[in-house]
Chains A and B, each alone.
Chain A
Amino acid sequence: MRPSAARLLNILVPIKRAVDYAVKIRVNPQQTGIDLNVKHSMNPFDEIAVEEAVRLRERLKGAVASIKVVTIGPAKAAETLRTALAMGADSAVHVELPDSAPAPEPLGVAQALRALVRREAEREGGGVDLVIMGKQAIDDDAGQTGQMLAGLLGWGQATFASKLDVDAEGKSAVVMREIDGGSEEMSARLPLVVTTDLRLNEPRYASLPNIMKAKKKPIEKLTAADLGVDFTPRLETIKITEPPTRVGGGKVASVDELVAKLKEAGFTAV
């Protein structure tokens, strides 16, 4: 395989450790947050992002130089990095936060990622060409970080991607986006931030040999200070409560009664 004359691509995939999608969320007794003493796993949208990076490498045959994953979180977030490494990423960065630290907000995360992208640019082998990340995390559902990162870097952005084609030599990408009422195709020059939607791919399971290989892959540890960012939240959470329990509906004996009830409630036929 002859490598192309152009510089090879470097992909950065930011990932987040979140409460597992299958866990039933409960508000903690102090009503300050949710019970976090439950199973955590990689945010599913981020799994899709890691999968897409690995598939890009498979599709582009030798044009991808590196896939680096990064997470910002407590010590346990390293498990999530190992999962990504087992799926096929090459190396990882862990911006470690104390267990007691509040969860960083999208802007803080975007600033940290910008600092990381700039740091990578100074390295041999060239800077990041493509950031692929989940469109949102399933814990806070903010859905802002990708857009903020593109804004801070002055890069293009292609959000809610359902298909991604990258031309490594031409340094460009064609992205199919999911939008209201259909999909939109757009082309963009690299460097680029892509956020993934649910239908982009179906992530693979890590195979046992790859899990074993992942144990030997490097995880670089950094602190907020190393990146010169401040994760102090700008928002204050006052109180978190469960939604009110659903009140059961009434039963009606006939269609006429149903229609009457609907009219009573203010619904009218068009």
Chain B
Amino acid sequence: MLRRQLVRPLSPCARQPLCTSLRHNTFSTSTRRRLMGMTGFTETQLTVREAVTAVCSHFPNTYWQEHDQNQQDPTEFHAALAKDGWLGIALPEELGGSGLGISEATMMMQTIAESGAGMAGAQSIHGNVYATQPLARFGTQAQLHSTIPNIISGKWRVCFGVTEPNSGLDTLRLSTTAKKQPDGSYKVSGQKIWITCAQVARKMILLARTTPRDEVQNPSEGLSLFCIDLDRTQPGLDMRRIKKMGGCAVDANEVWFDNYPIPADTLIGAEGQGFKIILHGMNAERCLLAGEALGLGYAALGKAAEYARERIVFQRPIGQNQGVAHPLADAYMHLEAAKLATYHAARLYDASKTDTTIRQDAVGVAANSAKYLAAEAAFTACERAVLAHGGMGYSVEFDVERYFRECLVPRIAPVSREMILNYISEKVLELPRSY
């Protein structure tokens, strides 16, 4: 079926969006311009980029446009990556993963976002990559063997249940409780919000309070981590999709628990130690988010440069005007700088597992800085990409409006810009805490 297309000022064939969806051996001669400088990456990172690009090439921009508009989960995309083992990239080999590091996982997430899948594509995958890290590290053998292989194969999807309406960044004040029953099982009550993929997830990594805040010495104690089933046939579980600005293909939800029963063996690690366990995955998550932001930024900038080369106004390409060219050149330099910060943080994170001279707060500073810089660089690139397109930037068909809507996500989540600035002020500059 022919898609109705906007009347284009350009030759349509030069930017035919479907070109990328063709079989990879049909000898298309369309140029694939890659903006990002590729020096300095490891051979494994380059292999990951190459292989993930190949999988993503089956999911062109039109796929993401449609799924965004119809708010339809990219099930096929998740399945395609799962089929080739990508969900296990950073999970241990003995459980069917590939045992690679966050450096490689970040490259995978960047490549996904950069393919045109954007944050929607990335969010359909990344919970399976980072939310499983604490489980893989602290879970019992029985927990690992019953869950991880099913997650890697794509049979089960995972969501991450931490954020609550009344405790966003202030995680320690979360009020969802898991009350221990006489038989050792728990009953969960409370509300979670912004739970990505809850509608399609079989499992949730849940953080809940098992000891009231006023009964523990340190507020970071008394929270426990669980890997629970989301069984919608059970009473006491309800969820509602949140309408949102971008990434509409992927569901984000409010989830309510009301005396929802979970078995004793869903507890990960020791009771009361959930916060410490979950901190383990947070720096990794920041690195992945930074990679996703970079991918989105490069995708938008690539589109903008292409348009600026081809769009003719006053008998010359608009990119010949410095008013168009310079903002894009500036955006490129910001992305390249953020790229260096991002892969530096990822390398540090991976190295800190074996190199004891790398302190965890150094990793935290690097990972938070990377997330901040990459999110800002992506925002700059996406905004300028829309503006460079003029009116066409406002149309769905040119994709940059979708990237622009989505590029707000890495600015806000998983931690706001302001909290990162607070963190750097306090930890690096040793300034007094303001909150």
Binding site for B on A (CB under 8 A): 21-24, 39, 44, 47-48, 79, 82, 138, 198, 202-203, 205-212
Query: Which B367-387 residues have C-beta < 8 A from chain A?
Result: none
Q: Which of A22, A47, A202, A206 contacts B51 (CB 8 A)?
A: A206
* CB-based contact B98/A212 at 8 Å: yes
Is B54 engaged at the interface, CB distance under 8 Å to the other chain? yes
Chain B residues with Cβ under 8 A from A208's Cβ?
A: 48, 51, 84-86, 88-89, 98
B100: chain A residues at CB < 8 Å are: 212
| Distance between Cα atoms of A157 and B51 in the complex (Å) | 33
Interface size of B as a range: 20 to 34
Chain B residue, CB-CB nearest to A198 = B25
**A205 to chain B: closest residue by CB:** B54
Q: DSSP majority for the B interface?
A: loop
* A residues near B23, Cβ cutoff 8 Å: 202
Known contacts A205-B51, A205-B54, A208-B89: A47-B31 contact under CB 8 Å: no
The answer to whether B29 and A22 have CB atoms under 8 Å apart is yes
Q: Of B25, B27, B30, B51, which is within 8 A of A48 by CB?
A: B25
Report A-chain residues with C-beta under 8 Å of the C-beta of B99: 212
Most chain A CB within 10 A, of B24, B32, B96, is at B24
Minimal Cβ-Cβ distance residue in A for B89: A208
The verdict on B145 contacting chain A, using a C-beta distance below 8 Å, is no
Cα distance, A231 to B261, chains bound together (Å): 73
Closest to B83 in A: A207
Nearest CB in chain B to that of A207: its residue: B84
Residue with the greatest number of chain B CB neighbours at <10 A, chosen from A23, A47, A48, A205: A205
Q: Could you list 10 examples of A-B contacts with CB < 8 Å?
A: A22-B31, A22-B32, A24-B29, A44-B24, A207-B84, A208-B98, A209-B96, A210-B85, A211-B98, A212-B100
Against A, the Cβ 8 Å flags (1 = close, 0 = not) of B200-220 are: 000000000000000000000
Decide yes or no: A205 and B55 within 8 Å by CB, A44-B25, A47-B25, A48-B25 being known contacts: yes
Most chain B beta-carbon contacts within 10 A, residue among A22, A23, A82: A22
Tell me whether A24 and B27 are in contact (CB under 8 A): no
Q: Contact: B27 with A138, CB < 8 Å?
A: yes
CB distance from B17 to the nearest CB of A (A): 15
Chain A residue, CB-CB nearest to B32: A22
- Known contacts A206-B51, A211-B51: does B25 contact A23 (CB below 8 Å)? no
**Nearest Cβ in chain B — how far from A37, in angstroms?**
12
CA distance A138 to B27 in the complex (A): 9
Query: Chain B contacts of A212 at CB under 8 A?
Result: 93, 98-100
